[in-house]
Chain A
Amino acid sequence: MNKFAFHTMVLAFCCGVAAPVFAQDAQKKEEICFESRKGASEITKREIKPGLPNVKCSPKTGAALWYGDPFDGTVPMGKMPLLEKIPEGHAVIKPRSEKLAILPMCGTACHNGVGPAFNPPTLPKGKKPTPIPTMAGLLPGIENLQHGRGGIWCLDCHHTTKRDKLVDHFGDPVSFDQPQLLCGKCHGDKLRDWRDGIHGKRIGEFTSTGKKRWFVCTECHNPHDVQDGARNRGFIQLQPESPPQLPRGLKDAKHEKLHPIPH
């Protein structure tokens, strides 16, 4: 009995000591960097070949700096109007729904198929929703939606009864993985440019029939605060990478800030 107890103690002690060590190891190895903007999509560093990682992260800003494997964690894009000429499987995306943690709950827990009543009307007037504490908690500052200059509100983009879906022109549900089908309904010029590869980002092979990973709208733009004035150009501000080396003999770069003409 004593012997057994002793062994148990030894085992417990070892585990107690070893566990934090393993945890630390795991933390050290797991290097995650964000791709386009912070909070949109992340990528975990691993080795695809000895000495060749799938991604390199910036030690300063935590951004993805280099892709060894541009198709890491991607799935086929699915049907997209006017992109049928792309060979099967050559257009891939990273699914957004995996990133949105509470998405599976949205359509079941709170909004279980019931939308706001139209008769008698419970919809807010002037596209300004009554603040609901749960939603405000999930999305701070949503009462001042920075999108559409006060002209749109939640249910212009989110499906009325299927809350885990977005909604297109005709009231049909749109997957969170294909936000372009929704965004394009107002931003048609951008959608056209995106389809042709002029707007937005694609990585992989550059030939027009090559395999590419497409970045969808919400990977770069946050639809809830896309129009924040301080941010400029529809894109969230980022920390820049470090500046280049100063020329020999210079202590700082003040000379660059001198104007030949005072103003």
Chain B
Amino acid sequence: MLSMSSLMGTAALMVQSGDAKAAVEWAEHFQKNYRLMTAEEKAEARARLERRYSAEYGKQVSVDTTEAQPGVLMGYALNIRKCIGCRRCVKACVEENNQSRGNKPGERIEWIQVLRMERGEFSKDKMNHGYPEGLGIQVGGNAYTPAGAVLEGQYHYEPEAVPEKDATYMPIACMHCEKPPCVKVCPVRTTYRDPDGVVVIDYNWCIGCRMCMGACPYWARRINVANPVLPKEAMNPVTHYLGNRPRMRGVVEKCHWCLQRSRHSRYPACVEVCPVGARKFGNLLDPESEVSLILARKNVFRLKAELNTFPKFFYFYD
């Protein structure tokens, strides 16, 4: 009985395959996990997607499939003292990476979050005054002028001008961990770490179970709960298969260090727009690169280092 119904389903699909769109969908449904595809299958998938996106968005769209380059291990560094919280990186990321930008709930997706945190004050006379009553744990600053008491910071701050006097800003996005918890939990192995250090997602193979969203300690992953809203004129036609190609509903997405750019030696979009030059990107295997020099010379820390995720995203200060 089961085989009968599946046969009928297959027959129905075969009948529809005269239609170009259905043929594309049929081929997409039955394609393999990107990592298991042969070079020919990748070329086929690429041609299919280019044809489909070009028709959909009314311009020549390219879908790159460049592999990780040997001798490259990408790394990122962010100067936490310089960041002024202007959110230009957030918007640049949206422009580059074809995120959904509608107005209804769940239709606007941004990969970078900028947290605004209060600055504490370590004054000498208050240093030994003990812990806050009833809390039992000191959360930063000291007991009487706590810093970072708003534990997760403010995401929705909107002052007239930034930087504000008593605030520190901390942008967070995917940390591209060496041991990524999201990769460990993915039941279909659609997300994985490429040899050049980037954690990527094959959107076609994602089942939208959101296990990775729960596992990520850096709140870096987003799901398309609604149909993505991507205006034709705003769509970026330079795309990568594992990068910024338009996503479908029900798949998870996140920062991929602008693979379509960085696999061709170009800086990611957020690095290029940061007005204060707080964002730095480079090859960790090249001792002359800016990230290597920062690691050698500056005070560096990694977010939640105690989790042993070994991020390739470093925060530093002068």
Contacts and interface: CB of A to CB of B under 8 A. Distances in A.
B105 A245 contact: yes
Contacts, number: 180
Given A233-B163, A237-B84, 16 more contacts: A52-B238, A66-B95, A67-B272, A196-B290, A198-B298, A205-B267, A208-B290, A210-B265, A215-B277, A239-B161, A240-B157, A241-B91, A242-B158, A243-B87, A256-B152, A259-B150
6 contacts: A70-B266, A197-B280, A203-B272, A205-B266, A206-B266, A208-B290
A197 B293 contact: yes
Contacts of A58: 88, 91
B162 A220 contact: no
Interface stretch (B10-18, B248-256, B281-289): B281-289
B90 A260 contact: no
A27 to B, nearest CB: 20
A7 interface: no
Interface string A125-143: 0000000000000000000
A244 B161 contact: no
Interface string B149-161: 1111111111111
B237 A237 contact: no
- Among A206, A230, A247, A253, chain B packs the most CB atoms within 10 A around the CB of A206
A256 B265 contact: no
Nearest to B157: A243
A189 to B, nearest CB: 9
A256 to B, nearest CB: 4
Bin the interface of chain B by size. Answer: 35 or more
A245 B108 contact: yes
A98 to B, nearest CB: 20
Nearest to B287: A208
Contacts of A232: 163, 165
Contact of A237 (B58, B144, B163, B265): B163
A13 to B, nearest CB: 36
Contacts of A256: 150, 152-157
Nearest to A241: B87
Interface string A206-237: 11101000010000100000000010110101
Interface size class of A (residues with CB under 8 A): 35 or more
A198 B108 contact: no
Interface in B269-303: 269, 271-277, 280-283, 286, 288-290, 293-294, 297-298
Interface string B46-63: 000000000000111000
Interface of A: 35-37, 50-52, 56, 58, 63-67, 70, 193, 196-208, 210, 215, 220, 230, 232-233, 235, 237-248, 253, 256-261, 263
B204 interface: no
A206 B73 CA distance: 12
B82 interface: yes
B147 to A, nearest CB: 10
Contacts of B123: none
A248 B277 contact: no
Nearest to B81: A233
Contact of A206 (B233, B237, B283, B293): B283
A200 B91 contact: no
Nearest to B278: A201
Interface in B126-172: 132, 135, 139, 144-146, 149-163, 165
B106 interface: yes
* Smallest CB-CB A-B distances: 4 pairs: A253-B156, A201-B277, A197-B290, A51-B59
B92 A206 contact: no
Contacts of A239: 86, 160-162
A205 B265 contact: yes
Given A56-B95, A203-B267, A208-B289, A263 B145 contact: yes
